[in-house]
Structure 1
Amino acid sequence: MPLSELTADPRPPAAAPASAPALLPPGPGPDDVQPTAHEWLDRFLTGLITVIPFLALGVVGWQLWNSLLHPSDLVVLAITYILTALGITVGFHRLFTHRSFKAVAPVRAALAVLGSAAIEGPIISWVADHRKHHAFSDQPGDPHSPHLHHGVLRGLLHAHVGWLFIHTERANRQRYAPDLLDDPVITFVDRTFFVWVLTGLAVPFGLGWAIGGSIDTALTGLLWGGAVRMLILHHVTYSINSLCHFFGRQRFETGDESRNLAWLAILSLGESWHHNHHAFPTSAHHGLRWYEVDVSSMVIRGLRRLGLAWDVVEVAPERQAAKLTA
């Protein structure tokens, strides 16, 4: 599939997304789905990774109450959060979904693995769902718009986490991610998703042991670098789908309800400049002003300086100015 068909700026009107024919191959409309063979298992596992981090907060509370927090725990949390978050923001989102830059094979593979270790789903499914979101942003067919359900709270809950349990909302991988299905490295990472999930839990255990020097710090490393990291990263990502389509500021003509949410920029590594992203989906940089902190953009610039990335898509000031609202 040509690059332009996967990354065209989506501008869906109210009735039917005009961008869909340019973005997607011919086929069924927004209601096309790819039912999971074992939907009950998928829902169970989704529920498990949603609930367990909250249960772990009880252990965290007990640990803090008894002054048992180790300095190594926060180090492990920082390392694992940054690495897995970059796997999502730089890898799953900007590289694989929107192809906003190109990278050498080891960097592509590393980002695919790190994103998988974040436990937000296999890479091809993640990319397909996000491409479908852009094709039908805040219109019928959008998997996680908060504006397609009765009531503000119901809409935000659906956009935040509820859509993950509704398989009719999920995107067809063959339709929305044929390029990744043809990539042998990415299909391998996708098939071995649970290996990277387990690796993403083994690493904080090992880091806790290496930094703290005991089985106790290894276990608390797993708690903070596993469960706590998952809790924070998952809900930061979910907030891009929910909060960033409801609260915040707009300055470009996008035809949807995407918003920039400044206070979430640091934790999301720049993803919460979400309105900017919807205005220019193929841009490698979501922060388009000097004060819009975008850590993921800095990483991509760093990769380019090292010769590990190239063809980085940037939006000229003239193009930005042409799309400003009156």
Structure 2
Amino acid sequence: MTIATSTKPQFNWFHIAFFVPLHIGALLALFPAFFSWKAVGVCLLLYWITGGLGITLGFHRLVTHRSFQTPKWLEYFLVFCGTLACQGGPIDWIGMHRIHHLHSDQELDPHDSNQGFWWSHMGWMLHHSPAFAEVPRFTKDIADDPVYQFLQKNMVFIQVALGVVLLLLGGWSFVVWGIFVRLIFVWHCTWFVNSATHKFGYRTYESSDRSTNCWWVALLTYGEGWHNNHHAFQYSARHGLKWWEFDLTWMTIQLLQVLGLATNVKLAPEK
């Protein structure tokens, strides 16, 4: 696999035009007119649905790494929740993450942490990444699925529809907190997995990259902060491998097992 690289990547003005207004919109939460405790509650609920069930459980552990299996209807539901996080369509997100694991902290890694915290956190998305051209090679298992195609193509429209529903339910405070604040918070929590967990924390395993286990990122991302463990055992549905490495997503998978909704659960070998 070869990906053309450039020492001076061009700015991706489409991404910049997408990120900047949403960050500015989140600042509206500082004004009393847009505050209500119900709106904060909506934000926290959607943070769990989109970041926890969607990105961590659905996009990452279920589909990207196939750490376990679920009925197709549940897979589609979790991927829909991930699409609501607005971190790109599911096909692009999953493909880019698979590329990251293949080349973690090397030149071909889209968010190579050797290029600095800012770059790995979000700077790479503000530039044209040649890795996007390789996504089809890494997503052949989902690329022809009509549900994935629909979510990939309609991510923004789905988010707008959610905004309309929130507006009708609770006015602009629900929109500001349920869309703007929630999106920005979920984004940066997810991006900390690319940046902070390649810089801060401890290493239990000698992986071929700079991945670390970072407790506070694990708390923010429902267990994704145990990143060194994950890079050592990418297939494992459980990331918190020590008894004190709290992993809420693993607990969710265990609940799904009890309900008969999670099967073929893959785990790292016990020491």
TM-score normalised by structure 1 residue count: 0.76
Give the Cα separation in 1 of the matches to 2:165 and 2:247. Answer: 26
**Does 2:157 correspond to 1:195?**
yes
The aligned residue for residue 22 of structure 1 is none
**Does 2:42 correspond to 1:76?**
yes
Q: How far 1:203 sits from its partner (Å)?
A: 4.4
**Does 2:92 correspond to 1:129?**
no
Percent of aligned positions that are identical: 34
Q: How far 1:30 sits from its partner (Å)?
A: 4.1
What code does the residue aligned with 2:160 have?
L
Give the Cα separation in 1 of the matches to 2:244 and 2:161. Answer: 36
Q: 5+ residue gaps in structure 2?
A: none
Change (3 A) 1:57 1:189: closer
Q: How does 1:143-158 map to 2 (within 5 A)?
A: 143-147=110-114, 149=115, 155-158=116-119
Change (3 A) 1:175 1:127: same
The aligned residue for residue 271 of structure 1 is 224
Change (3 A) 1:169 1:157: farther
The aligned residue for residue 87 of structure 2 is 120
Change (3 A) 1:269 1:99: same
The aligned residue for residue 237 of structure 1 is 190
Q: 5+ residue gaps in structure 1?
A: 1-27, 33-38, 150-154, 210-216, 319-326
**Does 2:27 correspond to 1:58?**
yes
Change (3 A) 1:62 1:191: closer
Give the Cα separation in 2 of the matches to 1:117 and 1:205. Answer: 16
Q: How does 1:134-283 map to 2 (within 5 A)?
A: 134-147=101-114, 149=115, 155-171=116-132, 172-206=134-168, 209=169, 217-283=170-236
Which has the greater radius of gyration? 1
Is the CA contact (8 Å cut-off) linking 1:104 and 1:308 kept in structure 2?
A: yes
Is the CA contact (8 Å cut-off) linking 1:100 and 1:284 kept in structure 2?
A: yes
Change (3 A) 1:305 1:253: same
Q: How far 1:140 sits from its partner (Å)?
A: 1.4
**Does 2:252 correspond to 1:310?**
no
Secondary structure in 2 aligned to 1:140?
coil
Give the Cα separation in 2 of the matches to 1:131 and 1:51. Answer: 27
The aligned residue for residue 36 of structure 1 is none
The aligned residue for residue 214 of structure 1 is none
TM-score normalised by structure 2 residue count: 0.91
Q: How far 1:126 sits from its partner (Å)?
A: 0.5
The aligned residue for residue 93 of structure 1 is 60
Give the Cα separation in 2 of the matches to 1:163 and 1:297. Answer: 29
